[in-house]
Amino acid sequence: MSDPTQRRGDHWWRHLVIWVVICFAVFPPLYVVTAAFNGDQTLSGSSLIPRSFTFENFKGLFVQKEGGAEVFFVRWFRASVIIAVLNAFFTVFIGALAAYAFSRFRFRGRRMGMLFLLLIQMFPGLLNLVAIYIIVLRTGEVVPALGLNKLTALLVVYLSGAMSVNLWLMKGFFDSIPSELDESARVDGATPAQIFWGVILPLAVPVLSVVAMFSFVGTLNEFITASVLLETVDNFTLPLGLQAFVSTNFEENWGSFAAGVLIAQIPAIIGFVFVQKYIISGLTQGSVKG
Amino acid sequence: MTATHTAKYRPSFLAWLLSLFSGIGGLIVKVALLCVLNGVTSWAIIVMFTQDRAVWALATLTVLALIDFVYLVPNRMLPAKFIVPGSVLLIAYLIVPIFFTINTAFQKYATGHVLTKAEAVDTNIAQNVVQGERFFKMVPTRDESGELVLVLVDDTTGEAYLGRASGLQEIDPTSVGVDDFGYTVPPSGFTAIEGEELFAIDAELAAFVVPLEGGGEIRAEGVSGAYDSAPGFEYDAARDVLVATDTGDSFADNGRGAFENSQGEQLVVGWREYIGFENFTAVVTNPMVRQPFLRAFVWTVIFAASTVLISFAIGLFIAKVLDKPKLRMKRFYRSMLVVPYAVPGFLSLLVFKGLLNEDYGLINKLIPFDPPWLFDPWWARISVILVSVWLTTPYFMLVCMGALQSIPTELVEAARVDGAGRWQVFNKVTLPLLLAVVTPLLIASFAYNFNNFNNVYLLTGGGPTVDDQGVAGATDILISYTYKLAFESGKGQDYGLASAISIYIFFIVAAMSASGFTRSKALENMK
């Protein structure tokens, strides 16, 4: 900027700085790639530049080795993706419903309700796990599908936060949609449900996408609730499965673990690419409005 | 900022799809969902009735009726129609557990204190037996159906009994004979077990217990004798004390979930008991709790603060470096730089655990010296912060890029015209404006990292252990320390204390978030 003859701001040092940071940023993921294809499948044999190339590590994920750690990679992967997609979908749906009510209706207890939902999130969920475990255990005696070791139960527990977690973000976005739009729709005879589906939601696609992505990636990442509710290794989600896999024999399973990590990243990256254009505005809007 | 998204809005496939539900489609979905809900819940209610859970069934029925009422009455309770789906799940799996936790925080609820008082009384009586005064000659026999029955003759009184697993039955002493070698001969209908079979049933015989009325039991000793034992305690319901039958020593309810005698000795088996604020005051008064709690607390603050501040500093720096419209490959750079954010955190953490391995890890292969990254308390703390910074920086980079874009260029240019230097402009114009936008997010991130269980637990497991007592390791933050207290302590679990600490955590996080919200003025905006 100080030198108008130069291409504005395109100094060589900026590129240098960025490349250094990129090295740090991509070095661990890159290492996973090389470890996944490395001929030497142990942790001690791994290096940044692989000595030989192999697909053996991937095979280790799908074929049970004699006496090796139990691997149900396909099941873990499927469980994780299914639960993450369903959770993202229902989180958006439930959250949007509630945000619409708090944004567009005026009712008794509205302000209190919002504060309450804000407050309740600050309770460390981790300690609720004892109670949740007992509730799920007892529910399972009546409705087996909502009992321990069932993915449906895990999903329902995840969804308990659907309303509170993104309420403020979504409500902030809904607030910024001009109310003239729904008033004109109401004049034309639209019901609140029709306004919700026909006016608000189509306009809110950016925030819906961001919330869906966060909950999708968040679910793929979730470890501790799943570890309390899921009991057998064949019912695990990816984090549990890979953690169990790598901790049974850290050193020896490293190559297959890296291969698993590589595949496990695919859903999150797809989700990320899908909503990338909304992320920056979604991160700041709603929370810092005005 | 209000109009930006409407200006950007182009009808997309997704938007079109959503609008389909505004007509008859939405109605069909609503009715279908209601039908499924009613069907499944009715079935569950029937199951509850068959399992004798009438209270549950009625509660469920009430909730179902309320939900149906809300959705089937048209044009009334409109807000409820939109809030009910989230609320049901919220109450069942979030609010009820919170009440459970609060309730637990006021109880002595730990290893040795998990039963109810009545169960604890029974268990203490059952577990403490003293040898009685009677000794029996015994012969193991089988009755006609092949059941094991002990034929017993009291050594002193000569009374004879049949001892079954169901109880003791007195029989005519004359029906039991004595053979030439002094061994007991069972009455007719019972076959004495002899020879090889006698050796074979050794284990069965040792585990065979004949319960006596009013507590106590008879056990075989060897293959030809038996002795009785009496309960070591009697429960005196009137005085609410357990009286030791041999010494007459009485153990009274000490009000803290245990029976205690006048010398202060406690019985091992206690029960859950409300003890007021004792769990809350323990972090101050009990040195065994205070030390690990304080260390975990200080470390939590250091961990969260340094993670947020370092990540923010680096993120802002990168954002500033990237903040040139004409920079070549900007899009490529940005996608490379958010890689740590795009990769699921748990995977990165597990990978870092391998990378930082002292003996085999890649990092120690690349650098000339071998720090014990995860095994030395101080190196482990550094590792946790470094890895957390690696995970968090892209978030702040994105935030700062967004925030920098929202700063009006006129302000910066006006400052330049007034003669401000590059650093002055940044320090006096850009940074204050940026902080106004970003401070709530900094606080939110601090609150998030305050409870960032994964970053600690998946990397170091809270370890390495430090010398003093208590379950907190060197890198344990409050939440992982609490988790260990509740779920996996080798020194016994303490739900009560864990719940109390989690309530402290709640107040800390709530206070921080409250300050964040006041700054963001979000609450005043609440129309």
Predicted confidence pLDDT, tens digits, chain A (290 residues): 444 444 555 688 888 888 999 988 888 888 888 888 877 767 766 666 767 777 877 887 777 665 555 678 888 999 999 999 999 999 999 999 999 999 998 888 898 888 888 888 777 777 688 788 888 988 888 888 888 899 999 999 999 988 888 888 888 888 888 888 888 888 888 888 888 888 888 888 888 888 888 889 889 888 888 988 998 888 899 888 888 887 776 677 788 888 888 888 888 878 877 776 666 555 544 443 33
Residues 54-93 of B with CB under 8 A from A: 56, 78-79, 81-83, 85-87, 89-90, 92-93
DSSP state of B169: E
Residue in chain B nearest A21 by alpha carbon: B337
- Looking at the fold, whether A164 and A273 belong to one and the same domain comes out as yes
Residue with tokens 């202060």: B264
Q: Which residues of A touch B322 (CB under 8 A)?
A: 14, 18
Whether A67 is in a domain gets the answer: no
**Please, are residues A267 and A220 in contact by the beta-carbon 8 Å criterion?**
yes
Q: For residue A77, what pLDDT is reported?
A: 92
Chain B contact set for A254 (CB, 8 A): 354
Extract the tokens encoding A98. Answer: 């509630």
pLDDT above 70 coverage of chain B, percent: 94
The predicted model gives B403-410 an average pLDDT of 83
**CA B288 from centroid of its chain's CA atoms:** 21
Q: What is the CATH number of the domain that holds A234?
A: 1.10.3720.10
Domain-located, residue A18 = yes
Which is higher by pLDDT, B10 or B395?
B395
Yes or no, beta carbons of B344 and A168 under 8 Å apart: no
A97 and A46 within one domain = no
**Span of A168-177, A187-196, B254-263, B274-283 with lowest mean pLDDT:** B254-263
Most confident by average pLDDT, A154-158, B14-18, B443-447, B450-454: A154-158
pTM value?
0.76
CB neighbours (10 Å) of residue B215?
18
pLDDT of the residue at B393: 93
Give me the pLDDT at residue B168, please.
81
Between CA B273 and CA B290 the distance in angstroms is: 22
* pLDDT tops 80 at residue B372: yes
Domain membership flag for residue A257: no
Sequence-ordered list of residues with C-beta below 8 angstroms from that of A222, at least 6 positions apart, any chain: A158, A237, A239
**A166 and A204 part of one domain:** yes
Is A221 found in the same domain as A97?
A: yes
pLDDT in tens, B41-100: 999 999 888 888 888 899 999 999 999 998 888 877 888 889 888 999 999 888 888 898
In a domain, A7, yes or no: no
Work out the minimum CA distance from B467 to partner chain A, whole angstroms.
Answer: 25
- DSSP 8-state code for residue B496: H
- In this structure, are A20 and A149 located in the same domain? no
Q: Do the Cβ atoms of B352 and B405 come closer than 8 Å?
A: no
In this prediction, residue A9 carries a pLDDT of 57
Q: Do B48 and A44 touch (CB under 8 A)?
A: no
Contact B365 A47 (CB under 8 A): yes
Q: Is residue A224 part of a domain?
A: yes
> Which of A4-8, B241-245, B348-352, B490-494 has maximum average pLDDT?
B348-352
- CA atoms of A200 and A174, how far apart (whole Å): 7
Alpha-carbon separation of residue A148 from A138, B45, B61, B483 (angstroms): 9, 19, 23, 20
Residues A47 and A163 in one domain: no
Q: What is the DSSP string of B118-160?
A: HHHHHHHHHH-EEEEEEEEEEEEEE-TT--EEEEEEETTT--E
* Contact B135/A at CB under 8 A: no
One domain, residues A87 and A158 = yes
Nearest C-alpha in A relative to B448: A122
CA distance B157 to B309: 85
The residues that bridge with B167 in the sheet, in sequence order, are: B164
Decide if pLDDT at B329 tops 60. yes
CATH, range B129-231: 2.40.430.10
The CA-to-CA distance between both ends of chain B, in Å, stands at 17
Where residue B306 falls among pLDDT bands split at 50, 70, 90? very high
A98 with A175, same domain: the answer is yes
| Domain coverage including residue A166 | 73-243+266-284
* Nearest Cα to Cα of residue B113 among B282, B265, B268: B268
Query: Which letter, b or e, does each residue of B265-276 get, where b requires 16 or more Cβ atoms within 10 Å of its Cβ?
Result: eebebbbbbebe
Q: Are residues A38 and A109 in the same domain?
A: no
Place of tokens 């990816």: A238
Question: Taking 90 as the threshold, does the pLDDT of residue B113 lie above it?
Answer: no
Banded model confidence at residue B261, pLDDT cuts 50, 70, 90: confident
Q: Do A284 and B47 touch (CB under 8 A)?
A: no
Q: Tell me which residue of B341, B340, B313, B300 sits closest to B473, measured CA to CA.
A: B300
Q: Do A156 and B89 touch (CB under 8 A)?
A: yes
CB contact under 8 A, B344 and A94: no
Q: Does residue A59 fall inside a structural domain?
A: no
Q: CB–CB of B328 and A141 under 8 A?
A: no
Strands (E), B179-300: 184-185, 191-192, 209-211, 217-221, 225-231, 233-236, 241-244, 250-253, 259-260, 273-274
**8 Å CB contact between A8 and B321:** no
Best residue in B2, B14, B22 for a mutation probing chain A (most A CBs within 10 Å): B22
Q: What is the CA radius of gyration of chain A?
A: 24
Structure confidence at residue B381 (pLDDT) = 93
Is residue B274 helix, strand or coil? strand
Domain count, chain A: 2
What is the percentage of chain B residues whose pLDDT exceeds 90? 13
- Quick check: is A102 in a domain? yes
B157 touches chain A (CB under 8 A): no
A93 lies in some domain: yes
Question: Residue A41 has what pLDDT?
Answer: 66
Same domain assignment for residues A111 and A143: yes
Pick from B47, B93, B520: which is nearest to A156 by CB? B93
Mean pLDDT, rounded, of chain B:
82
Residues A40 and A87 in one domain: no
What residue in B sits closest to A278 (Cα-Cα)? B5
Is the domain spanning B284-520 CATH 1.10.3720.10? The answer is yes
Sign of CA pseudo-dihedral A269, A275, A281, A285: negative
Compute the residue count for chain A: 290
pLDDT digits over B492-525, tens only?
788 888 889 888 988 888 888 777 777 665 555 5
pLDDT of B214: 66
Q: Residues B10-16: what's their mean pLDDT? A: 69
Note whether A120 and A220 are same-domain residues. yes
Is the sign of the CA dihedral B136, B137, B140, B144 positive or negative?
negative
Per-residue model confidence (pLDDT) at position B382: 93
Tell me the Ramachandran region of residue B272: left when phi exceeds 0, alpha when psi lies from -120 to 50, beta otherwise: beta
Say yes or no for a CB contact (<8 Å) between A202 and B79: no
